[in-house]
Amino acid sequence: MEHPPSRSEYKKVWSALSATEDQAKLHVIGATEEAAFQATGEETLRFLQDSVGIRRDDVVLEIGCGVGRVGKVVAPLCRKWIGCDVASNMLALTANRLKGFSNVELVEISGYNLSGVADASVDVVYCTVVFMHLEAWDRYNYISEAFRVLRPAGRIYVDNINLCTDGGWQVFENHRSFSPTNRPPHMTQNSTPQEIETYLKRAGFSDVRIRTDDDWIRASGFKQEIIGNS
Ligand SMILES: C[S@@+](CC[C@H](N)C(=O)[O-])C[C@H]1O[C@@H](n2cnc3c(N)ncnc32)[C@H](O)[C@@H]1O
């Protein structure tokens, strides 16, 4: 009998979770209705605008873009939107959802890095509703890769559910009730604000800001320009 994939076999795990459009949408936000995608996409956009900002000239890259829930509201506001995902099924759904836009590029990634995206070629990297599904090392791998692909003065936004709030703790308890030998590979693992802050600072980001107004950690940072002596 074939073993179920482990958590870090992201391509296998997420290809299986996105075999149909409805299944993919349920794994993205737990709903399939367009109204829910539009409303939550706009809500995420507000968090991006309040932290890193999306400007007309920006090249913006999303890590784990899913079906293009956020891409659909960000792409009209920037020069280019690059959607990256580990699952080709997800990228096909994004392609369909954003088919009206000419400034969209889609990249299938390995699940561990942004290989294929050039150094210093992007203005904003964001990653939303993805870190809870990753191993901690891969959260850091992506933050470190974001630093590589961002231009000087580039901005990063990442989020996860906060372990340290009552609501976040409830999520932790709900998942603790799974039998240890039967944990789904994609199950949510929260972060602490300190974990995310540490990754951003260790990767080299400056002006790191962590918002914890609700049960989410929303973190942003800035890639400082190196002023040369030439
Ligand atoms: C819950 S969905 C969120 C999608 C999108 N960010 C949104 O908020 O609408 C998680 C997405 O992350 C992708 N994903 C999971 N593991 C990944 C990895 N290691 N690298 C890149 N994408 C990954 C999944 O395929 C899926 O599209």
The model's confidence at residue 228, banded by pLDDT at 50, 70 and 90, is: low
Residue of the CA atom closest to atom 4 of ligand 1 = 66
* Residue pointed to by tokens 């002006």: 207
What's the pLDDT score for residue 62?
A: 99
Domain architecture of the chain: domains with CATH? 10-161 (3.40.50.150)
What's the pLDDT score for residue 16?
A: 96
**Phi/psi of residue 121, each to 5°?**
-120, 0
Ligand 1: residues with CB < 6 A are: 10, 14, 27-28, 63-66, 69-70, 85-87, 90, 109, 111, 128-130, 133-134, 138
* Whether pLDDT at 229 is above 60: no
Residue of the CA atom closest to atom 14 of ligand 1 = 64
The model's confidence at residue 211, banded by pLDDT at 50, 70 and 90, is: very high
* Whether pLDDT at 230 is above 50: no
Q: Can you tell me the mean pLDDT for 146-167?
A: 98
Q: Can you tell me the mean pLDDT for 214-228?
A: 91
Q: Can you tell me the mean pLDDT for 194-205?
A: 98
**220 has which bridge partners?**
157, 209
Residue of the CA atom closest to atom 9 of ligand 1 = 69
Q: Can you tell me the mean pLDDT for 143-171?
A: 98
Distance CA 93, CA 61 (A): 17
- At 16-69, the pLDDT tens digits run 999 999 999 999 999 999 999 999 999 999 999 999 999 999 999 999 999 999
Q: Can you tell me the mean pLDDT for 186-190?
A: 97
The model's confidence at residue 165, banded by pLDDT at 50, 70 and 90, is: very high
